[in-house]
Structure 1
């Protein structure tokens, strides 16, 4: 989705539900900059609460292994 369409679409949603919360997720193929830019666009669209989704850590990684 292009940035202008994202902002327009999400702005319409926020007008209907000002308390909407959005979680942004990515995978290893998506760069940090792209995720950051998406979050900025969501804030520009009026979303007050933007968060990051994450997968649970694998046991080995959580315990310092890996």
Structure 2
């Protein structure tokens, strides 16, 4: 049995482009109210860290390419 991801319990979480826009805590986290929701910019660098809990989010496949570039 797998344990649900809890806000502030994990130091690293992978997300996919379909999960954007990214916020922490994410809607799927069991402690969705662990701290105020904050939106994180992850598209350009492929990584973002939550300023509240320190969770590092990594975008699967790396940064998104800008259209036309």
- Structure-2-length-normalised TM-score: 0.31
Considering fraction of residues, name the structure with more helix.
1
Give the number of the structure with larger relative contact order, counting CA–CA contacts within 8 Å between residues 6 or more apart. 1
Mark the structure with the bigger radius of gyration: 1
